[in-house]
Amino acid sequence: MSAEIRLMRTPAEQALSAALEQVPSAPGRLNELRRSAARSFNEQGLPHRRVEEWKYTDLRTLMREAVPVAGPAGVAEAEAAARLLAGALVRRIVVANGAVVPELSDFSELEEGLSLLPLAAAVAAGDERLSRLGGLVPARYDAALALNTALAGDGVLVHVAPGATLARPIHIAHVAVGQGPAASYARSLVVVGEGARATVVETFESVTGQADQVNSATEFYVGDHAHLDVVRIQALGPAAVSLTTLLFEVGREAQLHDFAFTSGAAVARTSLYANLVGEASQVAFNGAVLLKGRQHADSTLFVDHQVPGCESRELFKHVLDDSSRGVFQGKIVVRQAAQKTDGRMMSRALVLGDDAEMDNKPELEIFADDVQCGHGATCGAIDDDLLFYLQARGVPLKEAQSLLVQAFVGEAIETVEHDGLRDALIEQAEAWLKARG
Amino acid sequence: MAMLDIDNLHAKIEGEDGKEILKGLSLKVNPGEVHAIMGPNGSGKSTLSYILAGKEDYEVTDGAVTLDGEDLLAMEIDERAAKGVFLAFQYPIEVPGVATMTFLRAALNAQRRTRGEEEVSTPDFLRLVREKAGALGISQDMLKRGVNVGFSGGEKKRMEILQMAILEPKLCILDETDSGLDIDALKIVSEGVNALRSPDRGMIVITHYQRLLNHIVPDFVHVMNKGRIVRSGGKDLALELEANGYAEYQQDAA
Amino acid sequence: MPAVQETVEQVRSIDVDQYKYGFFTDIESEKAPKGLTEDTVRFISAKKNEPEWLLEWRLDAFRRWQTMQEPEWARVSYPPIDYQDLYYYSAPKAKEGPKSIDDIDPEILATYEKLGIPLRERDALLGIESTGGTRVAVDAVFDSVSVATTFKEELARAGVIFMPISEAVREHPELVRKYLGSVVPVTDNYFATLNSAVFSDGSFVYVPKGVRCPMELSTYFRINERNTGQFERTLIIADEGAYVSYLEGCTAPMRDENQLHAAVVELVTLDDAEIKYSTVQNWYPGDKDGKGGIYNFVTKRGDCRGARSKISWTQVETGSAITWKYPSCILRGDESRGEFYSIAISNGRQQVDSGTKMIHLGKNTTSRIISKGIAAGYSDNTYRGLVTAHRKATGARNFTNCDSLLIGDKCGAHTVPYIESKNASAQFEHEATTSKISEDQMFYCRQRGLSDEEATALIVNGFVKDVLQQLPMEFAVEAQKLISVSLEGSVG
């Protein structure tokens, strides 16, 4: 029954393999990195439901065809598309169709200790800091990351020198623009040196209802005693496919707070890999996912405690309307050496739509005995008693629902430390509820 | 020979850079005596009680402790218990799923076996518990619940005294038994303790406040600071401390 | 409570080799030729005088099995099993089927006595006086055949059918044919399909409409013969409004080789019926280096076919080298309820991958999962579970609590729950924790005079209490002892 016969290659896989043929050669080890990623993809293709990590997000089915790789974006088009956080207190770099748009990006008056440049420029200049690019590799083949490694030509290199503190968040604004659905690939590298402090925001937008395929991967190195906040907002158009890969390496006594807001795309998958390699670090990966229509969003986390004394927290909130489908998979691994680990993971889903579906798979894999680990998962409709209570106080049904949903996702959003970003996220949630009517 | 003889005890927290907490403490306790140890927070009072009971987080670096002439420090935790050392915990530990009755009986019989005595029969045990629990106002319902699970601070302390009454130790160490008790609970607990005073039994009552000593009147009062006993006296010393505080001793020892 | 006292006693009296059921009964047996072919299947079927339809059913399973592959998704690893190097049928040689207890080979009677299972009803009745417990009817399965079933007549008076399945095939073909394979289909999974082809014996229970079974029923499985797989098949049907409580126990001799046990258990409850199924699994776990032991690859599933019916699984898993077992409930009837209570203990080199599936299909169905895993030594202990609500399962409810305890730093505890809700009104709650026995608890217990092992046993018994409570009294005491014995050598 489960005989591992190599499945027929789908049209999408064939098209992607063809695109991989066109991968331009790159200097130095980057070239080999790209070729080996392409080889992996050609061998293993897109994941399907028998691949455990993609059990609920069968890309072979969900990504029926591969769209052509996007061409360069017009500046005006890109500017019109990059709307999120505009005017906020951020330093914005616009990445349109996978390439940095210098005209829309703020590389001026960099704070002391900050290096910020387009990845393509760093590659061309042979920047030695790129030696860390591709340094974080998941334990198992990840198709989205392989495609990204092979096909991404640009993105952003952020390097914060030891001890430096950035005044403003760095905002990487990904936009997909142009006529006709297209695929774009962006790769970024963020290195936060020892004791440094930074905030990085990534947003994803597309103005059209096109079936764009937006593939982004970012590697984060958080140095010893460093403090990094990361916020992502994925608000792609309703037909888009979003594939995001995040790779973290966290040093000793470092702090990392990651938050993801997801409300866009027809199909969205975020794979997050975090390696805790320095003792006594504290990390948090939180998220709010609001879906409607037939949207499908999958957040899959691997938190790998390799050393003693680290603390990890995950809190994900899903709000599922209509026939949408939310997926949360979270795995906490505690290696034998990682004594005194403290890991807690919680996934809560509020199901609004009659045909909505939630799949939860929280996982613990523990090899050290002196640990405190736990996870929880709940899903269900809005509490009728609460609704009744609010209605009895004169709040109309829809509004009562909105209030309760806001409170529900609010708990996750509140974990974002930066005031301006937190307010922007709350606005996003409110806008989603308003659109729901 | 004193029943308990602590001689020049030095101890530190286990580990390479463990802090030294006891710095040459000496104390003798004879049967029938009640010794109060008072002192400011962090003076090492609770550490002393843990070391006497055998908690593994500490390392004795110098000195000796004997109980009836035997080397107490060489004994396992449960061996010390069987020899009659009882520690009433400042924060009694919860053991979910294990009914208090079950726990008491397992403890009592384990100790008796170690001492080569007969185990207590079920009817005798039930009678014993009923009698002692009644005096402390502990209901049968509480005895059926898991050890200390869901008990209030006062209930936990009463439960400690019940265990003491049933196990009939030779040396009772009461670690801040008054903490977290209101005046009524304090009375019940003190009465329980006083009922256990006997010519065969020694007690060490550790407390920060004098108030407990109004109810459990000690024969001796010791002031402890920075890991040492800095002054000893009669019960009046407690009143003096109540009036003047510990400031004087803290300076002295500095 | 005397049980704890006994636990403590038990712990004190243990020697290095703690598996006390490891003896072998020297008795002449009749075996099918080694290996597995269609002829083996025919041989077994012929031995049992089976009707044609059942032979065909078996052959169909065998053919399908040949096209299947062993599952690999569980967190267990073992060298490849040579299915041609096993005996698939072994029966103690006896006169054509014992007619009464006196016809049973005294060696076998002695074996069961040694195991504490009285097969003489007289003895069983005597047992009542001392334990004050309820009476238990026993079906004793020795390798591939049932050797005795007690209290058959009394049960028959109540209308309850309790007999070896091989006998039921002949005496109640209509019932067997209707329900066999209706919960675990022939092709369900590799091991279930293998079982369908070669199953030898097991118990059959039918409780008719409105009958509350007057006593506990139990089957006691014993693997005795070398190189022999045991493939029992159990089928329990509770008709409308019926109730039955069924217990299952298992042991095997200590051997260097691994032995395969691939059972299938099917439960069916019709409207308002209830089955309570309890297992104390104590197959030989192998020695401390992981040599020998039983491979326990078992498919257990209950189908709450009727409205308001209920199936409750309780398991205490302490034995086997490898356990691969997921007693499940299909909640088909409206307002039906499934329960899974589990204690899984692994020590030495044992590997456990166990859990449950609660499949909510009907309206207002409820389920509850309480799982307590304890890993010690070099063992791996995985909880794997699925809770799912299908589109039409309006009002489905589940509560899951999975706690794991690690004793020592060379073992692993893993939790892999799948929680899938396709209905907006379903309400699922899952919580899991992993921790070790707290040092404070140990210190507290030892300060009161308990030794390291006594304290561990006490705390562990507290940890698993919620599940122990679900077991019938006699079993709970037995289970409590087993837990302590299983953890022997895990502390200090």
User: In sequence order, what DSSP letters do the residues of B234-249 get, joined into one string?
Assistant: -THHHHHHHHH-SHHH
Residue A227 resides in a domain: yes
Mean pLDDT of all residues belonging to chain B: 90
Residue A399 resides in a domain: no
B95 and C459 within 8 Å at the Cβ level: the answer is yes
- Residue B239 clears pLDDT 90, i.e. is over it: no
**CA geometry: angle A208, A212, A216, nearest 5 deg:** 120
C448 closest CB neighbour out of B76, B122, B163: B163
Residue B15: phi and psi, rounded to 5, are: 120, 165
**Contact in structure between A243 and A216 (CB atoms under 8 Å):** yes
* End-to-end Cα separation, chain B, in angstroms: 33
User: Which chains have at least 3 CB atom pairs separated by less than 8 Å from chain C?
Assistant: A, B
pLDDT digits (tens, 9 = 90+) for A99-117: 999 999 999 999 999 999 9
Residue A232 resides in a domain: yes
Residue-by-residue pLDDT tens, chain C, 492 positions: 334 444 444 433 333 345 666 666 666 677 778 888 999 899 889 888 899 999 999 999 999 999 999 988 888 888 888 888 888 887 766 544 455 556 666 766 676 666 666 665 545 444 333 334 456 777 777 766 666 677 777 888 889 999 889 889 999 999 999 999 999 999 999 999 999 999 988 889 999 999 999 888 888 777 766 677 788 899 999 999 999 999 888 766 666 777 888 999 999 999 999 999 999 888 888 888 888 888 899 999 999 999 999 999 999 998 889 999 999 999 999 999 999 999 999 988 999 999 999 999 999 999 999 999 999 989 999 999 999 999 999 999 999 999 999 998 899 999 999 999 999 999 999 999 999 888 899 999 999 999 988 899 899 989 998 898 888 877 787 788 778 777 776 654
Q: Which residues from A are below 8 Å from C71, CB to CB?
A: 2
What is the reported pTM? 0.87
Is some CB atom of chain B closer than 8 A to the CB atom of C102? no
B77 closest CB neighbour out of C2, C447, C463: C447
Neighbouring-strand partners of residue A362: A330
Q: Nearest-CA residue of chain A relative to C438?
A: A370
Residue A427 resides in a domain: no
C412 and A372 within 8 Å at the Cβ level: the answer is no
Q: Which residues from C are below 8 Å from A314, CB to CB?
A: none
If one counts the domains in chain A, the total is 1
Which helix H or strand E contains C233, and what residues bound it? Answer: strand C233-238
Q: Nearest-CA residue of chain C relative to A360?
A: C419
pLDDT digits (tens, 9 = 90+) for B6-51: 999 999 998 878 889 999 999 999 999 999 999 888 889 999 999 9
Closest to A212 (Cα-Cα) out of A189, A190, A234, A188? A234
pLDDT digits (tens, 9 = 90+) for A377-393: 999 999 888 888 888 88
Is some CB atom of chain B closer than 8 A to the CB atom of C463? yes
Nearest-angstrom CA–CA distance, B3 and C365: 66
Calculate the CA dihedral of residues A101, A104, A106, A107 and round it to 10 degrees: 30
C449 closest CB neighbour out of B92, B111, B122: B111
Length of chain B: 254
What is the residue range of A60's domain? 11-382
Q: Average of pLDDT values for A397-424?
A: 92
Q: Are strands C310-317 and A267-276 parallel, antiparallel or unpaired?
A: unpaired
In sequence order, the 6+-apart residues with CB closer than 8 A to the CB of A304 are A273, A274, A275, A276, A333, A335
Q: Which residues from C are below 8 Å from A300, CB to CB?
A: none
Cα distances (angstroms) measured from residue B240 to each of B34, B38, B224, B237: 18, 12, 14, 5
Residue A402 resides in a domain: no
> How far off is chain C from B229, nearest CA to CA, in Å?
25
Place A428 in a pLDDT band, splitting at 50, 70 and 90: very high
> How far off is chain C from B142, nearest CA to CA, in Å?
15
> Scanning the structure block, which residue is given the tokens 């009923």?
B130
* End-to-end Cα separation, chain C, in angstroms: 27
B78 and C446 within 8 Å at the Cβ level: the answer is yes
What pLDDT was estimated at residue B163? 93
Cα distances (angstroms) measured from residue A21 to each of A25, A119, A212: 11, 22, 21
- Residue B94 clears pLDDT 50, i.e. is over it: yes
> How far off is chain C from B40, nearest CA to CA, in Å?
24
Neighbouring-strand partners of residue C483: none
In sequence order, the 6+-apart residues with CB closer than 8 A to the CB of C72 are none
User: Which chains have at least 3 CB atom pairs separated by less than 8 Å from chain B?
Assistant: C
Nearest-angstrom CA–CA distance, C333 and C303: 9
H helix intervals, C34-98: 38-47, 52-66
A50 residue type, one letter: R
Which helix H or strand E contains C355, and what residues bound it? Answer: strand C351-360
Nearest-angstrom CA–CA distance, C236 and C180: 10
Neighbouring-strand partners of residue C279: C248, C315
pLDDT digits (tens, 9 = 90+) for A157-180: 999 999 999 989 999 999 999 988
Residue A408 resides in a domain: no
C417 closest CB neighbour out of A362, A368, A371: A362
What pLDDT was estimated at residue B68? 94
pLDDT digits (tens, 9 = 90+) for C398-423: 999 999 999 988 999 999 999 999 99
Nearest-angstrom CA–CA distance, C232 and C146: 10
Strand ranges (E), A193-323: 197-206, 213-222, 227-235, 241-250, 255-262, 267-276, 282-291, 296-305, 311-320
Q: Which residues from A are below 8 Å from C193, CB to CB?
A: none
> How far off is chain B from C458, nearest CA to CA, in Å?
7
Closest to A83 (Cα-Cα) out of A405, A324, A410, A431? A431
Q: Which residues from B are below 8 Å from C453, CB to CB?
A: none
What pLDDT was estimated at residue C84? 87
> How far off is chain C from B82, nearest CA to CA, in Å?
6
pLDDT digits (tens, 9 = 90+) for B145-171: 989 998 988 899 999 999 999 999 999
Closest to C327 (Cα-Cα) out of C315, C345, C309? C315
Residue A426 resides in a domain: no
> How far off is chain C from B176, nearest CA to CA, in Å?
16
Which of C7, C341, C450 is the best residue to mutate to test the B interface, defined by the most B CB atoms within 10 Å of its own CB?
A: C450
Exposed (0-12), middle (13-18) or buried (19+): which is B68, by Cβ within 10 Å?
A: middle
* End-to-end Cα separation, chain A, in angstroms: 47
C110 residue type, one letter: A
Nearest-angstrom CA–CA distance, C189 and C195: 10
What pLDDT was estimated at residue C119? 61
Q: Which residues from C are below 8 Å from A373, CB to CB?
A: 433-435
C424 and A351 within 8 Å at the Cβ level: the answer is yes
Q: Nearest-CA residue of chain C relative to A376?
A: C431
Closest to C329 (Cα-Cα) out of C307, C302, C347, C367? C302
Nearest-angstrom CA–CA distance, A205 and A236: 4
Which residues in C have their CB inside 8 Å of a CB on A? Answer: 67-69, 71, 73, 187, 391, 404, 406-422, 424-436
Place A344 in a pLDDT band, splitting at 50, 70 and 90: very high
What pLDDT was estimated at residue C282? 83
Strand ranges (E), A24-161: 91-96, 99-100, 114-118, 156-160
Q: Nearest-CA residue of chain C relative to A380?
A: C427
Residue A36 resides in a domain: yes
